[in-house]
Amino acid sequence: MAAKGKGRRSKGTGSVFEEKVRGVKTGNYVVKFNLGPRDPITGKRPQKEISHLVDEEGNWVDEKGARVDKSRRVKITTQKQANKILRDMLRRVDQGDLAPPSIGGDVTVDQVFDLYLEQYVRLFLEADTYKSQKSCLVPVRKEFGHMIAKELQPIQFQQFLTKCLKAGKAKSTVKRHYDVAKSAFEAAKRWRLIKENPLDDVIAPRLEEGEARFLTREEFDAIISEIKRSRSSHLAEMFILGCVMGMRRGELCGLKWEDVDLERRVLTVRRAIKRGYDKTWEEGPTKTKKSRTLHYGDLVADILDNQVKRQKKERFQAGAAYNGLGYVFAKPLGDHNNPGGLTKFMQRVTTRCNLEGVTIHTLRHTFASWLIEGGVNLFKIKEALGHSSLNMTARYSHVYPNDTEVSTKMDAAVTTALKKHII
């Protein structure tokens, strides 16, 4: 029963009940009370039970209140004694003299990873990032998931990385295991589930700085020739626009007519098509959560004009079935194209051209590389690509504010490459 009188607490804070041994009451009493809120890891409320007489400070005493050692402890024999002990203990809890065990004190590595994925990644990052990081943690879980997080030693994880490298895993993959796991432990540290990040003193594989893959003029010619044979004109024009404007695949699929000013020859990148947590494609913000405005030249103007004419024809043919969602590069019924479809199209084309290491993202590398060749400064390229920092842009520059220099030089470069490929 709860403590009574002036010191009465809210329901669930503490109770007094008769002691039972194998289901039989002994005539003695037990005091049980909560030490704090529920542990977010276990879902259990930290509690303490007292079955022997104690004083206000929690020391064992006899019936007269004299302190005794463990061998001379005395059972609580009356409800009055039990209620007094409960009031004393609850007061100590309120004063902070009786602290609960550290939250997550026995949290496992698996639990740390689950919390990180569900309480941070799922809430604040994209679905593709969640999927990627969850996959990266799989081999780490197999090795350490059962362990208590605070007991994981740096040398154990160092040996795990070494084992992965000896098994033939790429340095970049092993580094990814390390990076994601370290982020998860860092989140646990901030949430005070662990005192130290066990990976702080682990030496991660060092990756060599590699040059970003970009298309040469000859490779561009080969791809355009193959695209022309594929008869997928709208996908071909998306490919060209990706080269000329440096847009991401999701941004190309998410571009709408409301984002385009045909008279001023300006388009604004406001959204991207992304895969959601329910595995369906949906509209979302750009990768940096910011919009950017890009000028374009004659080549893009011709592409947009072709899309206007094509959509008028498709709208007429589809009649009431046409969705009319306003996408620049739309399917025959007006729906948006999916980034996955664009990636598969690019894979088919590059395979037929016998080109290795070329993806749809290579178009952005090509955009940056060709502009650098044309003398455009790095800051303008950074703005056109929508990067958050110059360091990111510098990765593409191995060899807009959005003004007409970017569009003019890129338009000229691609137009020159397209002269023998009229689509």
- Please report the pLDDT score of residue 7 as a whole number: 42
- Please report the pLDDT score of residue 100 as a whole number: 61
Q: Where are the domains of the chain?
A: 5-95, 109-190, 217-418
- Please report the pLDDT score of residue 236 as a whole number: 76
C-beta separation of 51 from 19 below 8 A = yes
- Please report the pLDDT score of residue 158 as a whole number: 96
Please name which of 120, 150, 149, 154 lies closest in space to residue 134, comparing C-alpha atoms: 120
- Please report the pLDDT score of residue 182 as a whole number: 96
- Please report the pLDDT score of residue 101 as a whole number: 57
pTM exceeds 0.85: no
- Please report the pLDDT score of residue 287 as a whole number: 82
- Mention every residue, 6+ apart, whose C-beta is less than 8 A from residue 298: 411, 415
pLDDT below 70 — which residues of the chain?
1-12, 39-43, 99-105, 209-212, 230-234, 374, 376-378, 384, 388-423
109-190 adopts what CATH topology?
DNA polymerase; domain 1 (1.10.150)
- Please report the pLDDT score of residue 11 as a whole number: 41
- Please report the pLDDT score of residue 42 as a whole number: 63
217-418 adopts what CATH topology?
hpI Integrase; Chain A (1.10.443)
- Please report the pLDDT score of residue 248 as a whole number: 86
Q: Which residue has the tokens 């598969």?
A: 344
- Please report the pLDDT score of residue 179 as a whole number: 96
